[in-house]
Amino acid sequence: MRTAYTSDQIRAAEQALMAELPEGTLMQRAAAGLAVVCARLLTGVHGRVYGSRVTVLTGSGDNGGDALFAGARLARRGARVVAVLAGSRTHQAGLDALLKAGGRATAYTPQAAEEHIADADLVMDGLVGIGGSGALREPYGTLAGMLAGTRAVVVAVDVPSGVDASTGQVGGNTGQVDGPAVRAHMTVTFGAYKSGLLIHPGATHAGAVELVDIGLGPHLPDPDVVALTDEDVAGMLPRPAAESDKYRRGVVGIIAGSDRYTGAAVLSAGGAVRAGAGMVRFASSAEPVALVRARWPEVVTTVLGAEPGRASIEEVGRVQAWVLGPGMGTGPEAHALAAAVLASDVPVLVDADGLTIVAADRDLLRRSAPTVMTPHAGELSRLLGVPRKQIEARRLEHVRQAARELGVTVLLKGSTTLIAEVGRPVRAITTGTPWLATGGTGDVLSGIAGAFMAGGLSGYDAVSAAAHVHGLAARIAAKGHGPGEAPIAALDVALALPEALRRL
C-alpha cells in the first residue's frame, strides 16, 4: 500500500526528524536520491552521465536547494550543468556546491531560459515545492509553458511546480484544471508520497513517481490518501473454500436496464458473473431480461412491472447485496423500485440512473444498511449542487464532502478514481487506462463491486477492490497479444476479468 500525506503532515514530520539530525542532513539525503534517479534517466537517454546536458530551474525555497545540490553531484560525474536562477533569492549553499563542482549559473531571462531548456537532455523543475499554493506566479508560469515544448526529460523535484501537493489541484482556487503547471515525465518525491501526486489533475502532471526515503517514516501520522497495490487487493478478494457453495459465495441482486438502455443490463450482469459471484439475480423489464438470459445463461432472471403501476422486488429472492440503477430509467416505476431496494436490510450500490433518483429524493438514503454510490463528476454535481468544473478541479475535497453529507461510501469515477468513507483515508485507484473512457464500463464496474459486496467485503473494500480489478482488466483487454494498446469496448473489460483476477 502506498500511503500519501498532506503538505502539513510532511512538514511536521520533517521538523521532528530535523530536530534529531545535523543541519542540512535531510537536504543532502534528498539531493543524493534525486541525483541517482537523474543519472539513471540520463544513462537511458544519453547513454551516460558524462557529457550530458542538464538544466536546473530553481526557485527561492529549499526545493531549489535540493535541485542545486543534485546538480552538483551530476556535475562531479561530468555532466554539463547550468542553473537558471528564477527566484527572488537562491539557496546559497546549493549554488556554491554547484559552482564548486564545475556547474554554471545564470540569472533568469526568457531568452536564457529558452536557450538552456532547448539545449538540455534533462531539466530539473526545482521552482516550487510542497509549500506552494495557488496559481504559479511569474516567471514560473512562463517556465512551465516552456517545458511543455521541450524534447528533454523533465524531472520534478518533490512535486511538479503548480500542483498543490495536498490536493492535486492545478491553477489555484480558480475552479479550473488547466492552470499553468509543470508536466513532468517523472517526479522524484522525498520522504513520503504527497496526496496530490496520486490524484487528478496532479497525477497527470507528475508522470511516473519515484520515492526517495529520507527517514520520515517514524514521524508520519495516519495517511491522508492511500493507493492500493496488487498485493493489497489480492488479500481482500473473496475466495471460495472447500465447503463453499453458490449461496456462501454470495448472491447479488441487480436492478438495471430498460427497454431503452438494454446494454446496461447485459454489462452490469456480466461484471458480476465474471467477477465470481456465487449467483446473480437480475430483475428488469422483459427486453433486458431476455438479452441477459441470452448472453449470461447463469443468471437467474425476473421480469418486473408486468402489471402496470406495480413494481415489486419480492419475487426476485433473497440476496446479500444489491446493485441499483444502470440504465433503469428515472420515471415513477423506477423510483418505486429504488425505494424498495433501498428499504432492504442489505448493502446497496447505487449507480447511474439510481443516482439521479436519489439526487431528487435524498430521503431514500435514510437506511441502516451500508450504501455505496459510484458517481462520475457530473452525477456528483447533481448530488451536491456543486458545478462540475469545481468537482473536477478539487476532486479530493468533493469526494470527502459527498461521503460526509450523504452518509455513504462514495466512489468518484475519473482518470483517478477516488473512494471516500467518513473516518477512513481516501483511496486512490491508479490502475486502468484512458481507453476505459467509453460507454458501459461503469456498468461493468457496478457488477464487479456488487459481486464483491455479496461475497462479504465491506462497501469501502468492495468498491476499492472492484475499481482496481476493473482497471487491470481494461489494461489486459487493451493490450491484447501485441505491443501498445488498442481501443476497447465495455464487454471486453468484463471478459478480461477472470484473467485480471488470476494475475492477482
Residue 231 lies in a domain: no
Measure Cα distances from 224 to 40, 425, 452 in Å.
31, 5, 25
Are 213 and 111 part of one and the same domain?
yes
- 479 assigned to a ligand binding site: no
- 66 assigned to a ligand binding site: yes
- 245 assigned to a ligand binding site: no
Residue 109 lies in a domain: yes
- 414 assigned to a ligand binding site: yes
At residue 314, the pLDDT reads 86
Are 165 and 257 part of one and the same domain?
no
3-class SS of residue 393: helix
Using the 3D structure, point to which of 174, 191, 226 is the last residue of a domain: 226
Residue 238 lies in a domain: no
Residue 62 lies in a domain: yes
Domain that holds residue 123: 2-226
Residue 127 lies in a domain: yes
- 246 assigned to a ligand binding site: no
Against a cut of 0.75, is the pTM above it? yes
Using the 3D structure, point to which of 226, 256, 272 is the last residue of a domain: 226
Maximum Cα–Cα distance across the chain: 87
The secondary structure of 406-468 as a DSSP string is HTSEEEE-SSSEEEE-TTSPEEEE----GGG-STTHHHHHHHHHHHHHHTT--HHHHHHHHHH
Are 217 and 356 part of one and the same domain?
no
In single-letter form, the type of residue at position 393 comes to A
- 442 assigned to a ligand binding site: yes
| Residues 69 and 136: beta-carbon distance below 8 Å | no
- 471 assigned to a ligand binding site: no
Using the 3D structure, point to which of 226, 260, 291 is the last residue of a domain: 226
- 317 assigned to a ligand binding site: no
Q: Name residues whose C-beta falls within 8 Å of residue 125's C-beta, 6 or more positions apart in sequence.
A: 57, 67, 147, 154, 155, 156, 157, 160, 161, 182, 184
- 204 assigned to a ligand binding site: no
Are 167 and 42 part of one and the same domain?
yes
Are 262 and 392 part of one and the same domain?
yes
Q: Which three cell numbers stand for residue 191?
A: 520522504
Are 177 and 296 part of one and the same domain?
no
321-324 and 348-350 beta bridge pairing? parallel
- 179 assigned to a ligand binding site: no
Domain count, the chain: 2
CATH code of 6's domain: 3.40.50.10260
At residue 313, the pLDDT reads 86
- 353 assigned to a ligand binding site: no
- 486 assigned to a ligand binding site: no
| Nearest CA among 28, 120, 115 for reference residue 80 | 120
- 33 assigned to a ligand binding site: no
Are 159 and 198 part of one and the same domain?
yes
At residue 134, the pLDDT reads 77
At residue 320, the pLDDT reads 97
Are 180 and 316 part of one and the same domain?
no
Are 178 and 321 part of one and the same domain?
no
Q: What is the pLDDT along the chain (504 residues), one digit of tens a residue?
A: 999 999 999 999 999 999 999 999 999 999 999 999 999 999 998 889 999 999 999 999 999 999 999 999 999 999 999 999 999 999 999 999 999 999 999 999 999 999 999 999 999 999 999 987 778 999 999 999 999 989 999 999 999 999 999 999 987 654 444 578 999 999 999 999 999 999 988 999 999 999 999 999 999 999 999 999 999 999 999 888 777 778 788 999 999 999 999 999 999 999 999 999 999 999 999 999 999 999 999 999 999 865 554 557 888 999 999 999 999 999 999 999 999 999 999 999 999 999 999 999 999 999 999 999 999 999 999 999 999 999 988 999 999 999 999 999 999 998 889 999 999 999 999 898 889 999 999 999 999 999 999 999 999 999 999 999 999 999 999 987 667 788 999 999 999 999 999 999
- 134 assigned to a ligand binding site: yes
- C-alpha span between 421 and 410 (Å, rounded): 7
**Which helix (H) or strand (E) element contains residue 194?**
strand 193-194
- 447 assigned to a ligand binding site: no
- 331 assigned to a ligand binding site: no
Q: Name residues whose C-beta falls within 8 Å of residue 4's C-beta, 6 or more positions apart in sequence.
A: 192, 193, 194, 195, 197, 198, 223, 224, 225, 226, 227, 428
Are 185 and 269 part of one and the same domain?
no
Q: What is the DSSP letter of 137?
A: P
Are 384 and 327 part of one and the same domain?
yes
At residue 46, the pLDDT reads 80
Residue 234 lies in a domain: no
- 64 assigned to a ligand binding site: yes
Residue 232 lies in a domain: no
- 206 assigned to a ligand binding site: no
CATH code of 376's domain: 3.40.1190.20
- 62 assigned to a ligand binding site: yes
Q: Name residues whose C-beta falls within 8 Å of residue 169's C-beta, 6 or more positions apart in sequence.
A: 163, 196, 201, 202, 393, 394
Are 419 and 310 part of one and the same domain?
yes
- 385 assigned to a ligand binding site: no
Residue 216 lies in a domain: yes
